[in-house]
A and B are shown apart, each in its own frame.
Chain A
Amino acid sequence: MAKRLPEDLEVLASNLETLDYYAILQLDPAADYIEVRARFHECAQRYHPDRFLSAGFDEDRAKIYSVYKRMTEAYRVLFDPELRVAYDAGLRLGALRLDPDLRARRLTGGARSLTTPFARVYLNAAKKKFEAEDWRGAAIDAELGLSIEHAEVLKDLHTAAVRRMVRSRESSR
């Protein structure tokens, strides 16, 4: 039973290489991360390959997968603040997709243990401030990170920053 794919899916599939991440998810470039997630979930409801599994679209399998995989790629990049900054910079120069090497970014040990990208942003900010001996700033960022994700690496950094803060106050007395 050869069925025809929904027209919107056909359009997405044939224009795939001309669409940027915002376009494929039909998102406003100013969308915040809550909108990104909600929009991706809507797209998944409509375009997930499971939706077409039983309906005899065997010949169109490649098309269905290529569209959906690009959607998951777009979601992964746009939902991650660090990747999104890199993507937006490239997009201004005309790169519709994030460079594959950046997309498969190498996370360092501490950052890898975090599941939410936002906690990761705070972790990195806290680390930078810690290295610059801004103990107070590091403690605040670590605490913000902890409010998102209760992770060991953030706790440790927070404890270390607070300890240094107290010590530096004591020695300045």
Chain B
Amino acid sequence: MAQEHQFVLGIDLGTTNSACAVVQSGSASVIRRGDDRIIPSMIAARSDGSMAVGLEAKRERLLDPVNAIYSAKRLIGRRYSSPEVTKMIESVPYKIFEGRNESVMVGFGSRKLSAVEVSSYVLKYLRQMAEEALGQRIRKCVISVPANFTDSQRSATRISARLAGLEVIRIINEPTAAALAYGYIEDMDRRIAVYDFGGGTFDVTILEITQNVFEVLATSGEMFLGGDDLDEAILAAMIRQFEEEHGIDLHEHPVARARLRSVAEEVKIELSEASQVSRYIEGVLPDQGKNLNFSLTETALRDLIAPIVQRTVPVCEEAMKIAGIRPGQIDEIVLVGGTTRIPIVRETVRAIFNRKPQTSINPMSLVAVGAAIQGAALVGLLVPMADGGVSAPSMNATAVLLDVTPRSLGVRTLGGNVDRIIERNSVVPVEQTRLFTTTVDNQKYVRIEVCQGESPSFDENTKLGEVLLSGIRPAPRGETSVSVTFEINTDGLLEVRALDGQTGQEQTATMKVLGGMSPEDVDTMISKAESEGLLGDDEHEGSVVAR
């Protein structure tokens, strides 16, 4: 048997949509199924107990919004009590529950799923899509995450991939992937702004690239600002018109609203190309046969969405302020996310940075392409080149990507403040060691609370979890010390080790990640998935996907 080409799947697991790409005979290509290059990051439980993924799930949502799970990325690796999850509970139609260890679960048909499992179904769908397109089993991937993802969000994403039958060879920051797709790697000293306006979130990241070091200077964003808000604005116009014509307020009719919202999305997308779009929607309220004839011009769309698009301006300004630079000091602007296709968005970007943004690569698959390029580079298949292409590897020229940790890592002090252990912007892998002493006679345990973030107050940062040091030598207080080493590895993941300060003996240090899963939970889930043949290692697997 001829040796199979070892593909590494580059995956952009988005809040609203996902995409994947591979590098094939020297150039990156986006995986497609039919005409679809992106799939909604959504799963839905049908009434017959089966599951729909992607576009099918999006259609199911129109019929049964309570059992369609979207935006799982907003939940993954977060604690149930975090403000982001609280906000989600208020804004989504599906049910969110608290699981073990403060984790987040969602109601899915008759069962409950963890956010990790929801994402794993989307990832599995992408994997199968790639396997169909390439005609072979895919085992390895590089998966992208937002630069400001914490350790727990990163490790939860990694577990999702494992559940989907994929080995993650690297977790890459989305803006870094976007820049890689444009091939900014051999260029000297460039500053790049990545303006990422997706379906549900808006992020702007300023990167500085010096030789091969990708340094995140600043990243800022709005968790709840995206293309969905634009759809809402168009939907509101539709509802107003319907009320004027028929005297009925559709706010009381969720199914009709869901249907109009998907029309609003289509209208929005078409208006990036056309100057006017019209839609005739029959039977908005099926039992009453009321119709809506809706038409919108590009100019009218501008008026509708301008206030929303304007909200990205202060976010960009804040990022530049944090990075300590002015618009003139940015060399390139990279657009990511479908929303950046809208002309008024591009004009806004141009006004903010006083420069024309890069648009030569599709903004919806850019991150997946970058992840694929990084994947191929990691397995030694190619060298990324400055023009965005790739070439065969030459041993000495293979570029190495040096990423930095975008958030500081610290531990709680007695006064409730943060003692920083690893400062943000440290090149990874990085490790730092701290000495902890006992405060009580014959203390057996030391508990260290760990957080990520920049606030001096512990509670204002994202709490990651606790490190528990056990089996400490009994001694009067203050006489025993444990030296704890915190390491952030090349995936941005935290590893903790501990040594007895006096004897140098290794100590047990267990990291309990809040909102995450224990290693036992993960093993149980994986063996369960294996026994059900979900990982796809069996012979007869194939297109087990939703039609």
Contact = CB atoms under 8 A, between A and B. Distances in A.
A114 to B, nearest CB: 7
A44 B490 CA distance: 13
Contacts of A30: none
Contacts of A114: 324
Contacts of A72: 426-430
B351 interface: no
A50 interface: yes
Contacts of A68: 429
A11 interface: no
B429 A49 contact: yes
Interface of A: 37, 41, 44-45, 48-51, 53-55, 65, 68-69, 72-73, 75-76, 100-101, 103-104, 106-107, 109, 112-116, 119, 149-152
Nearest to B422: A104
B314 interface: no
Nearest to B485: A100
B400 A100 contact: no
B502 to A, nearest CB: 16
B433 interface: yes
Nearest to B426: A76
Contacts of A100: 432-435, 483
Given A41-B213, A48-B400, A150 B326 contact: yes
B454 interface: yes
Interface of B: 169, 210-213, 217, 321-326, 378-380, 398-402, 408, 419-423, 425-435, 454, 456, 483, 487, 490
Nearest to B323: A115
Contacts of A150: 324-326
Contacts of A109: 456
19 contacts: A41-B210, A44-B213, A44-B427, A45-B400, A48-B400, A51-B400, A53-B379, A69-B429, A72-B426, A72-B429, A73-B431, A75-B427, A100-B433, A100-B434, A104-B421, A115-B323, A115-B425, A116-B324, A151-B324
Nearest to B380: A54
B212 A44 contact: yes
A121 to B, nearest CB: 15
Given A69-B429, A69-B430, A41 B212 contact: yes
Nearest to B408: A112
B429 A50 contact: no
B380 A69 contact: no
Given A100-B432, A100-B433, A104-B434, A53 B169 contact: yes
Contacts of B422: 104
**Complex A-B, nearest 7 residue pairs according to Cβ-Cβ distance, in ascending order:** A149-B324, A48-B400, A104-B432, A100-B433, A150-B324, A54-B379, A151-B324
A109 B326 CA distance: 23
Contacts of B169: 53
Given A104-B434, A112-B454, A53 B378 contact: yes
B323 A48 contact: no
Given A54-B379, A76-B427, A48 B402 contact: yes
Nearest to B396: A45
B423 A107 contact: yes
A150 B321 CA distance: 8
Contacts of A41: 210-213, 402
Given A54-B379, A112-B454, 7 more contacts: A45-B212, A51-B398, A54-B378, A73-B431, A100-B435, A112-B420, A115-B425
A43 B379 CA distance: 20
Contacts of A149: 324
B380 A55 contact: yes
B140 to A, nearest CB: 10
Contacts of A152: 321
Contacts of B434: 100-101, 104
